[in-house]
A and B are shown apart, each in its own frame.
Chain A
Amino acid sequence: MKNKILNTLRRFLPFLGVVVAFAIHRLIEDSDEHPDAEEAYYTWILYFFLVATFILGIVSTFIKKLKKSLEYSGAFWGGVGIVVAIIDIVIGKFALFPVLFFPKYDNILAQFFEGYEIILKCIWHSTKLLVTGFLYGSGFGFVTGVLLGFNKKFNYWINPYIKLIGPIPATIWIPISLTIFPTTFGASVFIIALSVWFSVALMTSSAIQAVPKAYFEVSRTFGASSAFQIFRVGIPAAMPSIFLGVFYGIISAFLALMTAEMFGVKYGIGWYISWQKAMLVYSGVYAGIIVIAVYCMLILTLLFKLRDKILNWQKGTLKW
């Protein structure tokens, strides 16, 4: 009985977290140092979450899976509410840091509500760059890795160059690629592809070389062709590590993407941030950072969902 009440309470902790944030925001006045936003965006958001978390608490009573997960994660989300409230006190209410660099919530949210068109445009531009660069990079990386893993001659002649070029941060090539490629888009795609290419190639080739010899012997006793041994034995066996290569690759691709955008490209999230900074609009900088955080998390979550589908035979080597 006591447990049941406690569990119900847990499911309403996110709601309580929002209540705390809301109470603090309404009870204490914002510091005068902050410029006022056009509208009370933060209050709007808090209203939304008050309703949403309360409905979630009610609905979860009837959905078993949601109930279980909320009983576990409820405390965390309640904590998030408190963290949000503390930041509100430190920055919004008492302006303990210079307001130019630490704007209050209303002003950051204003960037989304008033400038969503340009932010969406930037997200679209970054996605185009990232997807194109990622596809080229992982495609070439996979082929290079397979050749390195299976072909001794290729390994002998090519591997030393890869070892030499691979570890150099891809962003170093920006000045050169900007002069070689006719468009900045092409140059940025090249930089992103290069950074993905190395980690995928490296992980693929080392994974193929680490495939247990017994697997190949088994397939030889069937009378399997070498194509069969490469595509049906070696590559599937190496798949978990190849996935790791893709994972590391996409992380360095984010880095390359942001750096490339801060250099010559117009539009894109990285460009947005450096543009806002140049104009001393730090609320825009924070808005950009929030976009990047959510964006990267979404992509990685998607990637891991994909892995769970393809590599369901393997119990997670890497958790997300």
Chain B
Amino acid sequence: MVTENKENAKGAIHIENLVKTFISNEGDTVTALNGVNLDIPAGSFVSLIGPSGCGKTTLLRQIAGLAEPTSGGVFVDGKKITKPGADRGFAFQQATLFPWLNIRDNISLGLRARHVYKEHKQDVDEFIETVGLKGFEKSYPHELSGGMNQRASLARALVGHPDILLLDEPLGALDAFTRMAMQDEIHRLWEKYKTTMVMVTHDVDEALYLSNYVVVMKARPSKIEQVIKIELPFPRARTQDTFVLYRKKILEILNFAGKIPEPEYYL
């Protein structure tokens, strides 16, 4: 069976009839989310996948509380989300570390913002070690590679021990090999801290490698097409044959499966 981190009771997400519309520059109303309903159990790893414009990032920002919903709402452990909070960490597509702070100060910034840095000093050291940045605490972001910056960004999002970690294509800007290494990193962090993970991605393999559930979304009108439970035990292997079936299923839903043309004659 799937290793669901059942012992963690916090971090369950309930999304109810969530609608989000924008006014475009031309004055038209654009619907980014058209009545989304979704339940994410505490401690699970959920990937949101779909083409651009399907509203997956909008959905993630709604959970984070970075934008107000037009109607409906997001509830975390039964409480309606109205603004960002320390219970939800957010890792952006770009590492967006502050260039004027060194790695350690960047990671501890959230704790300082909430005036709890003194009590959680050891947490900062722990996370620096966990993401493998020991020895680079005093370095500035521009001195480190993209992968290392992204590690620091993950540590920054996790250091306050949030119940939920929201990941907006956190590995999108990395090269293929760094990316795979970082996937293992994220998996390890999930196993260790049992945080509920919601990740936006364009990469089907990444979603299959990491998630309990893959939420497939479609654009125009943007909505959730299907929620697929990935019934494979962890640790998973990228070369594993069973991936093929899931990949086929997801690509078919997204109409990206493609087709080999029928030969015109048989020998």
A90 at interface by CB-CB < 8 Å: no
Let me know if B113 and A215 touch, CB within 8 A.
no
Let me know if A237 and B86 touch, CB within 8 A.
no
User: Which interface class (under 10, 10 to 19, 20 to 34, 35 or more) fits A?
Assistant: 20 to 34
B residues 95-125 in Cβ contact with A at 8 Å: 96, 98-101, 109-110, 112-114
Partner of B94, one of A214, A221, A224, A233: A214
In the complex, chain B residues whose CB is within 8 Å of the CB of A220: 66, 84
Let me know if B113 and A237 touch, CB within 8 A.
no
A223 to B114, CA, bound (A): 7
**Interface residue SS majority, chain B:** loop
In the complex, chain B residues whose CB is within 8 Å of the CB of A215: 96, 98
In the complex, chain B residues whose CB is within 8 Å of the CB of A212: 96
Let me know if B113 and A222 touch, CB within 8 A.
yes
Additional 16 contacts, C-beta under 8 A, given A220-B66, A223-B114: A215-B96, A215-B98, A218-B90, A219-B109, A221-B66, A221-B84, A221-B89, A222-B109, A223-B85, A223-B86, A225-B113, A232-B109, A236-B98, A313-B99, A313-B100, A313-B101
In the complex, chain B residues whose CB is within 8 Å of the CB of A313: 99-101, 140, 142
A218 to B94, CA, bound (A): 11
Partner of A217, one of B66, B86, B100: B66
A214 to B66, CA, bound (A): 11
In the complex, chain A residues whose CB is within 8 Å of the CB of B94: 214
A314 to B100, CA, bound (A): 7
B64 at interface by CB-CB < 8 Å: yes
The smallest beta-carbon distance between B167 and chain A, in angstroms, is 12
Let me know if B96 and A222 touch, CB within 8 A.
no
The smallest beta-carbon distance between B62 and chain A, in angstroms, is 13
Closest residue of chain B to A220 (Cβ to Cβ) is B84
A181 at interface by CB-CB < 8 Å: no
A residues 206-240 in Cβ contact with B at 8 Å: 212, 214-215, 217-225, 228, 232-233, 236-237, 239
Partner of B114, one of A214, A222, A232, A233: A222
A65 at interface by CB-CB < 8 Å: no
Let me know if B140 and A221 touch, CB within 8 A.
no
Closest residue of chain B to A225 (Cβ to Cβ) is B113
In the complex, chain A residues whose CB is within 8 Å of the CB of B92: 214, 217-218
Let me know if A232 and B113 touch, CB within 8 A.
yes
The smallest beta-carbon distance between A150 and chain B, in angstroms, is 17
The smallest beta-carbon distance between B172 and chain A, in angstroms, is 14
The smallest beta-carbon distance between B253 and chain A, in angstroms, is 31
Closest residue of chain A to B141 (Cβ to Cβ) is A313
In the complex, chain A residues whose CB is within 8 Å of the CB of B194: none
Closest residue of chain A to B162 (Cβ to Cβ) is A221
Please encode chain B, from 179 to 201, with 1 for each CB lying within 8 Å of some chain A CB and 0 for all others: 00000000000000000000000
